[in-house]
Amino acid sequence: MADQFHDILKKYWGYDSFRPLQEDIIRSVANGYDTLALMPTGGGKSITFQVPAMAKPGLCLVVTPLIALMKDQVENLRTRGIKAYAIYTGMTQHEVGLALDNSINDPNTKFLYCSPERLGSAMFIAKVKQMNINLLAIDESHCISQWGYDFRPSYLEIAKIRSLMPEVPVLAVTATATPEVVDDIQDKLEFRKHNVFRKSFERKNLIYLVREVDDKLRYMLRIINNIPGTGIVYVRSRLKTKEIAEFLLQNNISADYYNAGLTTEERDAKQTAWKTGATRVIVATNAFGMGIDKPDVRFVIHIDLPDTLEAYFQEAGRAGRDEKQAFAVMLYNQSDQTKLKQRTAQTFPPIEEIKNVYDSLGNYCQLPIGEGQGRSFDFDVYKFTAAYRFSSITVHNCLKILQQCGYIDYSEDVNNPSRVLFLVERDDLYHYQSHNTQEDSLIKLILRTTSGIFTEYRPIDESMFATQLQCSRQMVYENLLKLAKDKIISYIPQNSLPQIYYTEERLPVKSLYIGPEHYLDRKKLYVNKIQAVVRYAAEHECRVQQLLHYFGMADVPMCGTCDVCTSRHETEMTEFEFQTIKRLIIKQITAEPTTVDSLPDKISKAPDKVGRVLRWLLDNHCLTENESGHLKPIEQ
């Protein structure tokens, strides 16, 4: 079996060996054990379910909320000669039905990717019963836990799917999870036995730095000028992405900006320019980075504090994937505390406001009360906010809460290209071509450039067709509409608008229930996670120790490279000596009033070393003196 796994890895992915832990996870799954794999971003999670699925008859059902990643993986598998399909928000009922039927009827199909909101539909449940499923893989599995930072109630449907295939093992994968979330994932997915594989989150080549500075832009410029290579600068607002990119350009640094408000073509062009090195620095919101695998990123700078350490760890982890030295820098100042309080109020609008947005959304979608379950709608946030006089931030956060309550699913980055499916047999197509010469050239081009188009919807590019045919894009579009009108093809034009998917029928506002578990409890959890970020920035403890302790790793040695560790080198003593003296100092000043001058005499250690540790603790705001001159610890 082990040789079979290596053969598959070599044949389809071209690798001679697995990364650390990958083979252990694959063996666990192959032996039929429910398995939870914790692997950092870029650690090769997809291999852990793709390889064992290829080793057995049947197909692997992959649940993931990341539509862009889903599409990338399906296309990547197809380029390797592996049949795969995907079902996600924004597809028509016909497309969904066709993908499901192909997964049932084609024995060569090995992967069916599905967004979680699709799991509860009657059609999906009926079809999945007919499939020969060999593995259930759950990506971003932290989304099933209400203690996680990105809870999605649609993930709770996975347990129902499990009941349809009780003998099929489950592989849950995630990049980040606290100990509480680790247990909750396994309970919610009804693991027969808890079984966790952890890849160390430690990245020895990644140097974590926190800088408390008032002028963040000037300090960012200093960092970029001192570190060669490409990088990412993360900010929270779309407007700031453009402003900071322009600031960098004015200072002779090749830079561009990226956010979810750009068109698909703009985002693709900017991302490609950065990945190829034409742009050195990309300034972005958290919309940038998912699925980006650029190994030579030398620095990631956070101008604004992220909402969670989970998000920070993933975003910072995009630096240094080539295992060469890289830097993760967080810029922080006291005004961030005020901004975080404001952010909490924005993230949790008043419940009445949430209900108003829900009611307006139903009107916007022209959806009667009691209808809409299982339907998907285009959602132009700018038209919506203008029509109903909401702010875009309010709408975004209200929709997220409604999603967590299970009423809707809100997909922001859909980016669906144009798709085509031929509806006629080849003989009938040839007959049509012979009588419609104007459309004949387009039909030939589609057939020459697009495979599998008689059995499934395949993406097309009207602009590329226009270039090949030496005509306008509008003419290509009109010819495609003509072919669709003549029932030769089914044509779905490109759509990059966000999607609203109703998981329940539209309710009257008085029946809308937003319980404490989705509002008050999550607000408390949000505040706790923000406070963890502030502690990380403000406390003078090894940055790596703080991060790894947060994710449940005990007995972590100091990294020796972060800003805290390097500042301790000034004491010219070993870490053991430093920690021993620090503990003695804290014990002494807690036991009785002690001044700076009297402290060295009260500790039976070398006075000069005690003095050096004391000075470090004072300089780094770990200790302070009260009005009487007595030392006391600063509460972190």
State pLDDT tens for residues 504-555: 899 999 999 998 888 998 899 899 999 999 999 988 889 999 999 998 887 7
Q: Which of 99-113, 404-418, 493-507 has the lowest mean pLDDT?
A: 404-418
Give the chain's mean pLDDT: 88
Domain 349-415+497-518 classified CATH 1.10.10.10?
Answer: yes
The average pLDDT across 340-367 equals 93
Q: Which residues pair with 136 in a beta bridge?
A: 61, 170
Q: Using the predicted structure, report yes or no on whether residue 415 has a pLDDT greater than 50.
A: yes
Calculate the alpha carbon distances from 244 to 218, 331, 516 in Å. 11, 14, 39
* pLDDT value at residue 85: 94
* pLDDT value at residue 417: 80
Q: Using the predicted structure, report yes or no on whether residue 265 has a pLDDT greater than 80.
A: no
* pLDDT value at residue 8: 94
Q: Using the predicted structure, report yes or no on whether residue 150 has a pLDDT greater than 80.
A: no
Q: Using the predicted structure, report yes or no on whether residue 200 has a pLDDT greater than 80.
A: no
CA–CA separation, 269 and 255 (whole Å): 13
- Output 618 or 178, whichever has higher pLDDT: 178
The average pLDDT across 585-593 equals 83
The average pLDDT across 298-305 equals 96
- Output 270 or 202, whichever has higher pLDDT: 270
Q: Using the predicted structure, report yes or no on whether residue 356 has a pLDDT greater than 70.
A: yes
The average pLDDT across 246-254 equals 96
Candidates 457, 568, 492, 609; CA nearest to 100 is 457
Q: Using the predicted structure, report yes or no on whether residue 288 has a pLDDT greater than 80.
A: yes
The average pLDDT across 79-90 equals 89
pLDDT category of residue 234 using cuts at 50, 70 and 90 = very high
206-336+530-538 CATH, one of 1.10.3470.10, 3.40.50.300, 3.40.50.150, 3.90.1150.10: 3.40.50.300
80, 9 contact by CB (below 8 A): no
* pLDDT value at residue 416: 74
| Residue owning tokens 């453009």 | 242
Q: Encoding tokens for residue 320?
A: 């240094």
| Residue owning tokens 């999607």 | 499
* pLDDT value at residue 217: 94
Strands (E), 398-554: 408-411, 418-422, 458-460, 489-492, 499-502
553-633 CATH, one of 3.40.50, 1.10.10, 1.10.287, 3.30.70: 1.10.10
Candidates 621, 623, 618; CA nearest to 539 is 621
Domain 2-198 classified CATH 3.30.110.40?
Answer: no
256, 245 contact by CB (below 8 A): yes
Crossing angle (nearest 10°) for helices 520-538 and 543-550: 160
DSSP 26: H
The average pLDDT across 487-508 equals 88
The average pLDDT across 211-221 equals 93
The average pLDDT across 316-327 equals 92
The average pLDDT across 202-212 equals 91
328, 318 contact by CB (below 8 A): no
* pLDDT value at residue 77: 93
CA–CA separation, 533 and 315 (whole Å): 14
Helix (H) or strand (E) holding 435: helix 426-435
Q: Which of 5-9, 545-549, 561-565, 616-620 has the lowest mean pLDDT?
A: 616-620
pLDDT category of residue 294 using cuts at 50, 70 and 90 = confident
pLDDT category of residue 574 using cuts at 50, 70 and 90 = low
* pLDDT value at residue 65: 84
The average pLDDT across 346-357 equals 94
- pLDDT digit string, tens, across residues 37-81: 998 766 688 999 999 999 999 999 999 988 778 888 898 899 999
Q: Using the predicted structure, report yes or no on whether residue 86 has a pLDDT greater than 60.
A: yes
The average pLDDT across 115-142 equals 90
* Percent of the chain surpassing pLDDT 70: 95
| Residue owning tokens 């109630």 | 153
* pLDDT value at residue 570: 60
Q: Using the predicted structure, report yes or no on whether residue 636 has a pLDDT greater than 50.
A: no
pLDDT category of residue 582 using cuts at 50, 70 and 90 = confident
Q: Which of 124-128, 380-384, 504-508, 622-626 has the lowest mean pLDDT?
A: 622-626
Q: Using the predicted structure, report yes or no on whether residue 379 has a pLDDT greater than 70.
A: yes
